[in-house]
Structure 1
């Protein structure tokens, strides 16, 4: 059972989800415990130096024998140390992880409406929550779930099919994709041009019945927190996690 100890994992699968995003799946020798929404610090060696980066668990519905697998999504940044390392990582290579960490998790009791807002790979912790969200929708058909994913263009969407499947379970679930640089494309009803702020401001979020989760680019987080603070949200119903980028 993994807590905050250093544990070695072996890379067993590597897939490009988009031109700029890689999903890496690692296997441990012992069961790995975490709560959907949490993250791990990954320690790796790059050109003789030990580096560390934090990534949210992206595990979804994939088979996970004995809870020994962890999946992460890496966004490739030009000249980034972590990007170079993970892009070149071969199956069978190993890393060490510390964790789990973070409080971006679902509460024991559901609010009337969950609002999940992400940019880029910030959507991965929400993907890990999907099995639990499906279960809660089954138990409480009136539960509302809104997921907003902001990316530059359609090719950068992550797990859009899985979030869209959630909307087929209930009329109270909605998935919206927001493109900041998509031009000349015909957009469907669940696609919009612009930024995530253009969408969440139209939700008329109510701190008495809604719970908001934010994950992704620091600028988006800061802007959204300022907005929801003004609406009366507090730390108990406004959860956030910034994805910091480092080239070193």
Structure 2
């Protein structure tokens, strides 16, 4: 039996290692050629201290108070030289991946489907070769996708669940954009190179209510999260607000309706900012956040959208004196159009 340990480094790189039953995390990392920080490996110095974001584990009793205090352990800090997992775990490592002599992982995938949604977005589906391991990532994370022939890349969140050979992405259409121009001529069978996973925006374990706030193609990471929650048979109360600029920007609403049938406590609402729209809910996401959810105990807020939306939500929560149990957000900036050259 092995447990999968996600190591999230402070520079956004995530690496996964399989930890054998009874094996310490530090030993599993070294076995995978990841040199996590350590000096003594005996629970004495505290150099290997990390934060356990999720999972079950045992720290034993062979470390001293100076290395890890009782209060620190209660807050989720661990000594990875003593930590023996008893489930999959997520660890926050307070150093860069490069300092641990590791880095981002690169893998190849094949285009299987390109589906435009008007002029708003494109659904891109890729397939990893059957002989290769399905990429591991945390629901909500992203990868860099190299744009063939350009020397550049673009960053996109997974819309699919982790551990699958099929990878999904929701890509905003940018007029004359680098990826958009390539997608316009791409076809099934084309190959792409991906680097990742990366990012600290991912679904945490818990049992409290969830408020998901998505702006435009910021819906993508929530589709990944919802799929994971649905497969786990989650009974958590989840409400998603999906805000867009125009009616045509509302895409994949049918998928949200599908999750509403699979998750007994999931509801969602769509909001259109365009005042000329006939949509029943107009305006901004902040105008449609239910008070009963925000005021409820233990609510966890996840927000992904363009910078103005993220800033507006943060300002609104501060202005209203609302303090969620946790607040995780990710800003994304659409890539600029290509510039003409003389």
- TM bin, normalised by shorter chain, reads 0.7 to 0.9
Look up the match of 1:240: 329
In structure 1, list runs of 5 or more residues that go unmatched. none
Deviations 1:150-180 (A, max 9, x none): 1123332122122223334567432111011
Look up the match of 2:198: 101
1:209 to 290, 293, 298: 298
C-alpha distance in 2, partners of 1:127/1:206? 25
Query: Does the 8 A contact of 1:207 with 1:237 survive in 2?
Result: no
C-alpha distance in 2, partners of 1:90/1:170? 35
Question: Which aligned runs of 4 or more in structure 1 are off by greater than 6 angstroms?
Answer: none
2:116 to 3, 13, 16: 16
C-alpha distance in 2, partners of 1:209/1:93? 46
**TM-score, with structure 2 as normaliser:** 0.61
Look up the match of 1:59: 160
C-alpha distance in 2, partners of 1:195/1:84? 31
Larger radius of gyration: 2
Look up the match of 1:155: 248
1:110 aligns with 2:207: yes
Look up the match of 1:196: 285
1:74 to 168, 171, 194: 171
Task: Give the number of equivalent residue pairs.
Answer: 233
Change in Cα spacing, 1:12 to 1:173, as seen in structure 2 (3 Å) is closer
Query: Does the 8 A contact of 1:179 with 1:195 survive in 2?
Result: yes
In structure 2, list runs of 5 or more residues that go unmatched. 5-13, 16-103
Query: Does the 8 A contact of 1:123 with 1:158 survive in 2?
Result: no
C-alpha distance in 2, partners of 1:182/1:132? 35
Any idea what SS the aligned residue of 2:218 has?
A: helix
1:183 aligns with 2:273: no
C-alpha distance in 1, partners of 2:263/2:159? 23
RMSD across aligned C-alpha pairs, in angstroms? 2.7
**TM-score, with structure 1 as normaliser:** 0.82
